[in-house]
Structure 1
Amino acid sequence: MDVEYVGVKQEFLEDSIIYSIARVLDEIVRETDIIESPQQTAFHTNKKPAISLAKYLERIQMYSYCSNECFILALIYIDRIQQKNQDVVINSFCVHRFMFACIILSIKYNDDDYYKNDYYAKVGGITISEINKLEQELLTLLDYELYVSQQQYYFYKDKLMKYAKL
């Protein structure tokens, strides 16, 4: 088997994870945008971001140099937030910031190398004080539970890969 082909195939699968996550979250947002959010969090903004979620995730991937596992962990964290906090509605006014903060936490928890928050703030298009506040609130919403079992990780990854093929 040609090694270059395997590399291209693997790169496609890794890219499809990011786009699958964006598609999943876009579907959630379409449903939740019609619901009035009972609780405004530090993640909520006054207006919807102009950049699509897929483009935003591409930007984060490009400049954070994180592993693809971090994106799957971030999706798991978002799912946990929704399970633990029924009154927090993730909609188009907050999905970018939730995903960004979840990715940053997953990088810090999972990857060996990571940058300081001032760098990540520039990548995410927010201030250093905002990223610190988001990180703190996210940890609270998650009850500081960042560990993801191997079984749960692969469950989500498999679902995303199946979703990518649709």
Structure 2
Amino acid sequence: MNSLVKVLKVIENGKICIVSSLVIIDKLSMTGATIPPEDLNWTLMVCICLVSKLVNDNVYSNRIFAYLLNLDITEFNKLEQKVLRTLNFNVSVEEEMYNVYNEEIRKFSQTQSEALRCNLAEFRENKKKIREFKKLKHAHHSSETAAILARREKYDGDFTDIHMQKAIEEQGSFNAKAVRLHCVSKFRFESYNSFTFGKSGTPPMRSKTQPRLDE
């Protein structure tokens, strides 16, 4: 593709050369000649250079074309001779045939342009939807996290006030170690039944205000 761009920048009437070269390649295929896939690109380049010698006043040598195509001059000459011999040195393109190919290329180009615009619009719409989804997901996670923290704060406060008071009443006397063990077991049991931390059902983490078992 870079080689084609280089050649089209140098030669005149680039559009005519490209359309005519496609006609010549079809003529080559009609002769029964087989073009290996690895040589198809170079064959197209050689056909463009051949047509440019016919339609342009300023004709460049094969050495310049070979330099632009980054191809050895010997290889370029061999390809050119092969094309000319296959076509019996007849590289002329009838006006009617040229108009048919030109119209087909124009229709194909228009179809591809419309498809490209549709794909671009669809890509932008999908990108917009992804951005909106990320915003909603972030807002949902933020609100969910805030609700969880609020519930944890509530249970921390309940533990220090209500559970401690109930434990003292049930024990009958203030036995520090027994009260702590009773509070922890009571709190954990109720937490499993009345409080769900996230979707996994993991119990709430011990806060700094909760007593440790080994204290």
- TM-score range (shorter-chain normalised) is 0.5 to 0.7
Given the alignment, which residue of 143, 147, 157 partners 2:88? 143
TM-score, with length taken from structure 2? 0.48
> Which amino acid in the other structure matches residue 6 of structure 2?
R
Given the alignment, which residue of 48, 54, 58 partners 1:109? 54
Given the alignment, which residue of 45, 65, 68 partners 1:120? 65
User: How far has the Cα of 1:59 moved from its partner?
Assistant: 2.4
SS at the partner of 1:147?
coil
Residue of structure 2 in register with 1:132 after alignment = 77
Change (3 A) 1:66 1:134: farther
Given the alignment, which residue of 73, 78, 98 partners 1:153? 98
More helix by share: 2
Matches within 5 A, 1:1-166: 54-85=1-32, 87-91=33-37, 93-166=38-111
Q: Deviations over 1:15-37 (max 9, x none)?
A: xxxxxxxxxxxxxxxxxxxxxxx
The percentage of aligned residue pairs carrying the same residue is 23
Change (3 A) 1:66 1:127: farther
Q: Deviations over 1:127-149 (max 9, x none)?
A: 11111111111101112111111
Contact 2:20 2:51 in 1 (8 A): yes
User: Structure 2 unaligned runs (5+)?
Assistant: 112-215
Distance 1:164 1:57 in 2: 18
Q: Deviations over 1:86-115 (max 9, x none)?
A: x50452x11211111101110112212111
User: Structure 1 unaligned runs (5+)?
Assistant: 1-53
Greater Rg over alpha carbons, structure = 2
Contact 2:4 2:69 in 1 (8 A): no
